[in-house]
A and B are shown apart, each in its own frame.
Chain A
């Protein structure tokens, strides 16, 4: 051991401070470019035979750059497909994917559970229950509110159950939190089934079922506004909490010893997650696995530092869900799958691998 803190360390590799900051910028630029390219390419994919340049032409004209760039007016069919059908759908998928990605990171960090995500902790089921209730009553207008109330109630129930059943010195026990989430999830699912069984009629079945499975097929510009707005405001707020979440690395006690107001941060952030989940579920239904596997994949690539993990999980989540939705509407064309089935088909095996790797490590 060396006696003074001032002695120069024996080996000084390139300062990781600047290195990691530069790498973060490279990653951010790369994933942003990938997302933009994804949007343009996937909007073109489909039976109408459009090209990415058709898409660019429509978008440029719509946002008022057509004259400036000297573009010809796009034909009305292309305009209709791109601007009225596919663009809202792709953008909604992107917003939902981004939101689920960032929610997953925050939940995993606050519960210190690598398996936590809005779906696993009952938030999505709670939101679906809220949505199903108002759909059955025909009150579509208050759907986002009902979804938020449902997700918050589920969150409170999960955390209350987890902390009532025992509190370790490090705060909420990860295993208990997931078990509590599963219980709440099952309860909300049963309640939703009951509501459907008891009162749904005619088309409501389909509508509610698409909620339960998760789908962005009916997305409109209103969906973009709700999901995108929520992601821009709440998602960006959550994405800026990197240093705070880092402080939770070694648990609540250690976060508190680093000067973090643990209780206030935990409840504030979880409430923000519930709010965002509610907004997303109100537009897309409960899409599973995105908030779970995206943060894991990104962590493998860039490490566990939240300042990188949060924004990159948002960007990658957006790209992932857009491609998943594109698969959902093209694989069995002209029939469509709810995107939740696609994310589950991809996510479940990945989840199994993660469990396996976790088992091998412990």
Chain B
């Protein structure tokens, strides 16, 4: 498993991301080590090791039900693992992410769930302002600065015109962008995304992945569960493939070009993969047929 790639060079632009300088630190890598989780006597994740190198985009791949969402929840610290640890590695050394105080963890790491919904009549701007919660006292309201950051985040995902709309009235794709904006408003150093291109049309998918790449360039470490393998091949620096049998475990990890190959994909998904080259970008394009 190689940790470096020509695309992961953390070329950070000045003042680019609000996270820059947050807690006085720079990029941070993420490492989940021997993480296991079981529910109702059933082992869902079996000693899973996942590394997300700093300032790079790592794709978390695998068929339905292999535990991608579960792993992201464990890494995010919103669900406790039955074993293993999750470490944040910075220039200053390693830090146990799960032992970190909640609010500091929420300033370090943001998590966009697979399907977060509400029935309450909250406006888009208020929903994005929630991302500022860990940055202020729980008894205080949002400040002017919080509003500015929330609007900038909305602008960045192209959803500023929706600011005054109610979240319940949005389309699936619009809502997905709002969740992304909420995570951006959190100004994290690590961003966990669970199927961020869900509900999005092709143009919006590309825009989202461009945003994700932009964040990585600014030094944000991204771990994203994805289903579209060609999109993953075009966007990610690294990939981790999970498979079940019976419990979720890692079958391959490393630079995306080395992982997204028929030898890995075919047995995991039970398909026959053909890897083509994109005539313009030279990135792998994967097509599938049944075996």
Report the minimal beta-carbon distance from B287 to chain A, rounded to whole angstroms.
28
Q: Are A253 and B138 in contact (CB under 8 A)?
A: no
- Considering only CB atoms and an 8 Å cut-off, how many residues of chain A contact the other chain? 46
Any chain A CB within 8 A of the CB of B6? Answer: no
Main SS class of interface, A: loop
- Nearest-CB residue, chain A, relative to B159: A1
Q: Are B152 and A243 in contact (CB under 8 A)?
A: no
Most buried by A among B79, B102, B125: B102
Any chain A CB within 8 A of the CB of B139? Answer: yes
Give the distance in Å from the alpha carbon of A11 to the alpha carbon of B138 in the complex.
Answer: 30
Task: List residues 134-172 of chain B with CB under 8 A from any CB of chain A.
Answer: 134, 136, 138-144, 146-147, 149, 151-158, 160-161, 168
- Stretch of A2-10, A95-103, A282-290 with 4 or more beta carbons under 8 angstroms from chain B: A2-10
Instruction: Answer whether A2 and B113 are a contact pair too, CB < 8 Å, given A17-B147, A246-B133, A249-B120.
Output: no
Any chain B CB within 8 A of the CB of A29? Answer: no
- Nearest-CB residue, chain B, relative to A257: B111
Q: Are A5 and B133 in contact (CB under 8 A)?
A: no
Report which of B107, B126, B143 forms a contact with A259, defined as CB distance below 8 A: B107
- Which residues does chain B contribute within 8 Å of A174, judged by CB atoms? 119
- Nearest-CB residue, chain B, relative to A307: B141
Ordered nearest first, which 4 A-B pairs have the shortest CB separation? A259-B106, A259-B103, A256-B78, A259-B134
Instruction: Answer whether A361 and B168 are a contact pair too, CB < 8 Å, given A1-B210, A17-B144, A247-B133.
Output: yes
Instruction: Answer whether A304 and B120 are a contact pair too, CB < 8 Å, given A1-B207, A249-B130, A257-B76.
Output: yes
Q: Are A254 and B113 in contact (CB under 8 A)?
A: yes
Task: List residues 1-57 of chain A with CB under 8 A from any CB of chain B.
Answer: 1-7, 9-12, 15-18, 21
- Considering only CB atoms and an 8 Å cut-off, how many residues of chain B contact the other chain? 63
Any chain A CB within 8 A of the CB of B123? Answer: yes
Any chain B CB within 8 A of the CB of A199? Answer: no
Q: List 16 A-B contacts (CB under 8 A).
A: A1-B207, A3-B214, A5-B16, A9-B155, A15-B147, A18-B144, A170-B116, A174-B119, A241-B138, A247-B133, A249-B127, A253-B78, A257-B76, A259-B104, A259-B133, A260-B133
Report the minimal beta-carbon distance from A44 to chain B, rounded to whole angstroms.
38
- Which residues does chain B contribute within 8 Å of A299, judged by CB atoms? 120-121
Task: List residues 286-314 of chain A with CB under 8 A from any CB of chain B.
Answer: 299, 303-305, 307
Any chain A CB within 8 A of the CB of B199? Answer: no
